Amino acid sequence: MKKILSIAAIALVMTACSRTNPFLSEWDTPYGIPPFDKIQTSDYIPAIKAGIEEQNAEIEAIVSNPDTPTFDNTIAPLELSGRTLSRVQGVLFNVSETDRSDALDAVQDEAIPMLSEHSDNISFNKALYNRVAAVYNADQSALTREQQVVLKKLYDGFAREGIGLPEEQQAQLREINSRMAELTQKISNNILAESNAFSEKFGFSASAYPEKMTSTEDRELRRQYNEAYTSRGHNGNEYDNRALILELLDKRIKKARILGYDTPAAYTLANKMAHDPQTVDAFLAGIMKAAVAKAKVELADMQAIMDQDIKAGKLPAGSKIEPWDWWYYAEKVRKVKYDLDESETRPYFKMDNVVNGVFIAAKTLYGVNMEKLEGVPSYNPEKVTTYKVTADDGSLIGIFTTDYFPRASKRGGAWMNNIRDQYVDAQGNDIRPIIVNVGNLSEYLSIDEVQTAFHEFGHALHGLLSKCHYPSVSGTNVTRDFVEMFSQFNENWAFQPELLAQYAKNDKGEVIPAELVEKINNALKFNQGFMTTELCAASILDMKWHELGSVEGVDIDSFEKKACSHMGLIPEIAPRYRSTYFNHIFGGSGYNAGYYGYLWAEVLDKDAFSIFEASPAGVWDLELAKKFKETFLEKGGSEEPMVLFKSFAGREPDSAAMLRGRGLTD
């Protein structure tokens, strides 16, 4: 009680100083949207400290309860604890990724060690664990299936974080966890700084690199772009990530060893669908073999066109395709093979039109209605658009925010964030989620960017349509090698002819011609040898790093070179990310020893979509869509992934579905 009162005291003091910290009171805003216009940078640290104190008091109340531990008096209140802290982090980490500033960096530098320590305090709370274990070891027959999953996830989590270790080793883990949090934040900031330097040097953002490599005729300029792009975080300056990465890996190795695992990969994968490194390695090796074989065919097609340029005197004799030539000559091959030129398609894919298409698909398949909201708080009113999402009966599904265009303060790539998870509160109220889609897209989108917009909204649907009770399993709170199934599944609708007829229109309002639609769909599997090879190569590189037992004497360049040779990567293709700008695995995105998850989940995605393709009603089979929504999107992580998939498909996944979907096999 004293700790709870101290939070109120903080709020009173701040009120006495003429304003109240917005995080320390309920938000009187439409739909509980964060009051971004009232939040100041100076609010974060006091709110984090108050949030930590609040959750500590809530946990102390659970631990000191004299009654026999039950789900209702232990697990349920633990699930609902830390709401203030969740509010603060939901805002801070979203804004810091999209509107980064030196002031926000300073906030994170102070906040991250505190949050790491707080997390460890919970993980190593023996009294709390004893109550959780008592519930876990008791008869669970009266619990719902979701409650059983929540309980197991919580119980297993204590073991994974080291609850059974001696205090000396727990102290070591505390130091390691704190330092790892600092390192990932520093690496991420360095990647952003290097990407901004790239933009300043060449006049276009790093996210526009593929488009520039496709359209730039000057080969020397393409080489310069490639060299600068692939050397980010590797320039010997203050943003060089090499030493930081090796230190981070060293910490991950030490943590794994303390917890009883040979490598970080073994530790990470123990609670994933794949379960162990050997399974992932075998999975990726099979894909790599098929992808490289296809890429070699694509390479021959490109070299044939380059040879024509040599004959025409445009290039020196003996010129061969280099990594900086691939995008450029691939586009030439596409024009020859499919008569498809993206300069013809882009006018039909204006950002607003594509967003409309994304929404039409969701409305058709899942009964999701989008209403643009005006005048609601926003962290960047000029760049951000907010929507109210409702079901056909008018009930609130959630709030959805888009932030699609690049700026210097935003990290690269595209992603979905939860500002607020879906859950049911202690009074039985269904708290609906607030979801954000962020990107670095063009005003007129490429075919790949259109797929990106559908991809991220697939994540958003997973978060928005959740109908779970407990926050730890709602929405996208599923294993890393399952979560990408739903984003990639949503990509399948992007170029369906019936949908394109509704959203793909140029500035004159003219619908995309049928012959162009046919060309797009015919060309969707084009260049998939290259695309799959670079993705698979990055996944293997990730695994190689996290299968290390030591980084002593390791040189990043030599390690990458050896890994690429071992995986059979051809020299004309590089991994999608070099280590020094591989934000997914080193910058805190949580995909370490997990980048394979995109390909793993694509097996599930393509196999599920094949059921739609086989339906007599076609891919717009609404009964099948309803089953997909109820089986997957509403369930979140409240059931084991394979149980859900078998429930939907009636069988095991077809392991070859992804290869067929990409055109790598028949």
Residues marked as catalytic: 456
Cα–Cα distance measured from residue 400 to residue 457, given in angstroms and rounded to the nearest whole number: 10
Q: Is 364 helix (H, G, I), strand (E, B) or coil?
A: helix
Distance CA 271, CA 273 (A): 7
d(C-alpha 445, C-alpha 343), whole Å: 10
Report the distance separating Cα 340 and Cα 520, nearest Å. Answer: 7
Strands 396-403 and 385-390: antiparallel
Task: Answer for the pair 154, 134: CB distance below 8 angstroms, yes or no.
Answer: no
The DSSP H or E segment spanning 386 is strand 385-390
Looking up tokens 């149980």 gives 643
What radius of gyration do the chain's Cα atoms show? 25
Selection from 595, 598, 569, 568 nearest residue 661 by Cα:
598
Q: Rounded to 5 degrees, what are φ and ψ at 74?
A: -125, -60
Of 142, 139, 3, which is closest to residue 63 (Cα–Cα)? 3
Query: Strands, DSSP E only, in 407-545?
Result: 415-420, 423-424, 430-431, 434-438
The set of residues, in sequence order, having a beta carbon less than 8 Å from that of 337 and lying 6+ positions away, is 301, 523, 526
Torsion of Cα atoms, 204 then 205 then 207 then 211, to 10°: 0
Cβ distance 309 to 551 under 8 Å?
no
The residue ranges of DSSP E strands in 106-190, in sequence order, are none
The 3 state secondary structure assigned to 92-129 is HHHHHHHCCCHHHHHHHHHHHHHHHHHHHHHHCCHHHH
- Contact, 411 vs 191, CB < 8 A? yes
What is the identity of the amino acid at 414? A
Give which of 216, 204, 207, 202 is closest to 325, Cα–Cα. 216
Give the residue from 633, 284, 271 showing the smallest Cα distance to 475: 633
CB neighbourhood size of 613 (10 A): 11
- Closest by CA position to 181, among listed 104, 125, 120, 261: 120
In contact, 503 and 354? CB cutoff 8 Å: yes
The three-state secondary structure class of 339 is: coil
Q: Where are the alpha helices (H) located in 216-325, listed in sequence order? A: 219-230, 242-258, 264-269, 277-311
CA distance 385 to 376: 9
Q: Which residues pair with 415 in a beta bridge?
A: 438
Q: Which run of H or of E encompasses 490?
A: helix 480-491
Q: Are 426 and 80 in contact (CB under 8 A)?
A: yes
Edge-first strand order for the sheet with 434-438 is: 369-373, 385-390, 396-403, 434-438, 415-420
CA separation, residue 245 to residues 43, 194, 429, 554, 562 (Å): 32, 15, 44, 11, 17
Cα angle, residue 412 at apex, residues 410 and 414 outer, rounded to 5°: 100
- Residue 291's nearest CA partner among 535, 615, 7 is 535
Query: Residue type for 466, please?
Result: S
